[in-house]
Structure 1
């Protein structure tokens, strides 16, 4: 007897998209929580293989979520809207500020396939050799590797939470065979969790992965539907450069009209047209300095 593999994008009977027996688990023992986090990661892995999921866009949106969590860890007030503004309207030579720097680190980390060079671009305060040494600290199963990397970074530089979380997610992704890493740990770990060690930290990371993998699956399903609609309305767009603009919307969380490959007036008209068609959303609620996203 053979069994058909479930369709992760259609398995949305629960709000998370992860099967209810995983997302509603209340296990306490480390081995039990590890089992459920493995099931959640397996489900996410199937979703990331689906061609209809706009992976670059998903990673970029999860990077914003991770950055927002890291900013909150440092007690700063900026949330998603402020982080988008800090980066979207950044001019050459400008500083995005501390919160914007955190967001830029996460965005740069997800943009390119994983390598020490790419991680160094995301974490310019650290030498490539140091990054490589931390990255090589992880051994064993995926979550164990991620925890060991996080511990290695924070043991050497106790306040380097962002670097530790980025490298831990990268180690996890590499162990799972992913070319790009998907931000998962930062959004669901509490600041107090980062001061834990050993089994206590592993337990916190497994729990965080159940939550974050569930959210990633939910967002993947939502973005797959939105991306399909955006592609469906594309033939209705007559503006020169509209095709390139569509591709940009399918890779970035938020876009200012000025960043699109059209004149300012044509870009604004295109964004308004896409909003009217229900293909993108205006994200700021402002009359000026607007941002748009799928």
Structure 2
């Protein structure tokens, strides 16, 4: 595996910034909020088109945030740190628990290009035909379509918040021409918003997407910079399998040393080396059962 950055990939610091007027405007009417959400999503669309943005890593990290929001909707206490443990420290035969299942659903939803089959893998409790019918419930422009899908799912299955938000994000991705689900709605909606309907839900959806698009652009810039640094230090790594390990860090929110394609001791040494080089971070603050990520 080669780590040289292609000449046509730009400096991450040149990623376009979200226009200040998108974040500073105080829109109240549905029309004005819809205009701002369209501007924010268009800007995010441009950022996602950049080759220096590690899109799989971005999606996985946004999936974690979406999962944490959905878990909070249920009144559970698990946050991002606990959710990482729930999915990355599972042993063979272990069950992830309700919060871990939510995290796994979001991670599976973003791993593969949008399709009924991929959504069915993320949401095995629902039949493919049902998922297809929900996707077809959305009409009109992208945000309206996504909100209609969310409303359709929750009308038929009022407790299926996770399914509704995943399928709604899938509808948004399809409408915007994105190949994969990009989790946006869950992290910025409030629990009470999920019980709204019609224009009230549309207004909440537009506001949520403004907030989430701004955050996704900020995160894209940060991850592009971190990924560039990891690729820059990668040639210094001598361990056999280091190339595949680096690729894992560039596509996953968190990695346990035991998941790396190296012997245990070599994997831990590689992680320590990457931390020393400032290329990855230890995410748990623990001395054992550590997780690492860009």
So what's the TM-score if we normalise by structure 1? 0.95
Residue 170 of structure 2 aligns with which residue?
Answer: 170
Q: Which segments of 5 or more consecutive residues in structure 1 lack a partner in the other structure?
A: 1-6
1:274 pairs with 2:274? yes
* Superposed displacement of residue 181, structure 1: 1.2
1:49-97: CA deviations, max 9, x gaps?
Answer: 0000000000000000000000001000000000000000112321100
- Say whether the 8 Å CA contact 2:12–2:224 is kept in structure 1: no
Residue 63 of structure 1 aligns with which residue?
Answer: 63
Residue 134 of structure 1 aligns with which residue?
Answer: 134
1:143 pairs with 2:164? no
- Say whether the 8 Å CA contact 2:244–2:261 is kept in structure 1: yes
- Alignment map for 1:40-189 (pairs within 5 Å): 40-189=40-189
The answer to which of 97-106 and 17-26 deviates more is 17-26
Aligned with 2:14: secondary structure? Answer: coil
- Say whether the 8 Å CA contact 2:13–2:225 is kept in structure 1: no
Q: Which segments of 5 or more consecutive residues in structure 2 lack a partner in the other structure?
A: 1-10
Aligned with 1:27: secondary structure? Answer: coil
Q: Between Structure 1 and Structure 2, how many residues are aligned?
A: 284
**Residues 274, 63 of structure 1: CA spacing in aligned structure 2 closer, same or farther, 3 A cutoff?**
same
- Say whether the 8 Å CA contact 1:150–1:164 is kept in structure 2: yes
Aligned mates of 1:106, 1:11 — CA distance in 2: 27
So what's the TM-score if we normalise by structure 2? 0.95
Aligned mates of 1:236, 1:119 — CA distance in 2: 39
1:13-64: CA deviations, max 9, x gaps?
Answer: xxxx421100112100000000000000000000000000000000000000
Residue 191 of structure 1 aligns with which residue?
Answer: 191
Aligned with 1:221: secondary structure? Answer: helix
Residue 14 of structure 2 aligns with which residue?
Answer: 10
* Superposed displacement of residue 135, structure 1: 0.9
1:257 pairs with 2:292? no
Aligned with 1:275: secondary structure? Answer: helix
* Superposed displacement of residue 219, structure 1: 0.3
Aligned mates of 1:169, 1:25 — CA distance in 2: 25
Residue 4 of structure 2 aligns with which residue?
Answer: none
**Residues 10, 64 of structure 1: CA spacing in aligned structure 2 closer, same or farther, 3 A cutoff?**
same
Q: Structure 1 stretches (4+) deviating beyond 4 angstroms?
A: none
Residue 23 of structure 2 aligns with which residue?
Answer: 23
* Superposed displacement of residue 195, structure 1: 0.3
